[in-house]
Amino acid sequence: MKKNFLIAVWFTLVTTVMFGVLYPVAITGLAQVLFPNRANGQLIERNGKIVGSRIIGQAFTQPGYFHSRPSSAGTGYDPTSSSGSNLGPTNKLLIERVRSDVQKLQSENPNVPIPVDLVTASGSGLDPDISPAAAEFQIPRVAHARGMKEDDARTLVRKHTKDRDLGFLGEPRVNVLELNLELDAVHALR
């Protein structure tokens, strides 16, 4: 009995060190060497200051910016509280929020169908991308707020539209942060 107990303790200690310390350290070290940008969160820097991450959404609320999907992560886009709202499709809070978002978007761009991703949150609440249709829907508001032609804004949206990965995985998408940063660079807010 004592021998079995000691074997169990030693096995627990050895596997804890192997898989709880050595393996994570080795994988983290490999990631830092082979993929440092990805291992560090794909941060975007402008003028020596970190302005965001390519893989974590941000809230943009001013009319001159493309807006991200709604977020239920913490107070909105909080990476420490990543999650959806867990509200079911018949939940009154969800219905009221979506109805409010739809009314706001309809007033912004009347008689145009609203892309579903502008009124629904992603599963993580941190999605950095919107669909090309969601970006197209926002072009009139952004162009008007910046005093630019809609065609110029449309060109930027097309430039930032990424196709499906490997030609068949996922959906076409537009990274909101990268698009808004380029908008600021080429046509600053008035």
pLDDT at 45: 87
The two three-digit tokens of residue 166, written as one number? 């490997």
Question: pLDDT band for position 36 (50/70/90)?
Answer: confident
Backbone angles phi, psi at 15, to 5 degrees: -70, -35
pLDDT at 129: 95
Whether the model pTM is above 0.85:
no
- Alpha-carbon distance of 82 to 177, in angstroms, equals 18
- Alpha-carbon distance of 175 to 117, in angstroms, equals 13
pLDDT at 125: 78
Statement: residue 11 has pLDDT above 90? yes
The two three-digit tokens of residue 159, written as one number? 């430039």
Question: Mean pLDDT of all residues in the chain?
Answer: 90
Contact status, residue 55 vs residue 63, Cβ threshold 8 Å: no
Q: What is the CA radius of gyration of the chain?
A: 22
Helix 132-146 to helix 176-186 angle (10° resolution) is: 30
Q: Which has the higher per-residue pLDDT, 133 or 50?
A: 133
Q: Which has the higher per-residue pLDDT, 77 or 36?
A: 36
Q: Is 111 left (phi over 0), alpha (psi -120 to 50) or beta?
A: left
130-167: per-residue pLDDT in tens? 999 999 999 999 999 999 999 999 999 999 999 999 99
Secondary structure of residue 9 in the 3-state scheme: helix
Question: pLDDT band for position 22 (50/70/90)?
Answer: very high
Statement: residue 47 has pLDDT above 90? no
The helix (run of H) or strand (run of E) holding residue 84 is: none
Averaged pLDDT for residues 108-127 = 88
Q: Mean pLDDT highest for which of 37-51, 82-96, 143-157?
A: 143-157
Averaged pLDDT for residues 38-51 = 87
Averaged pLDDT for residues 46-72 = 89
pLDDT at 94: 87
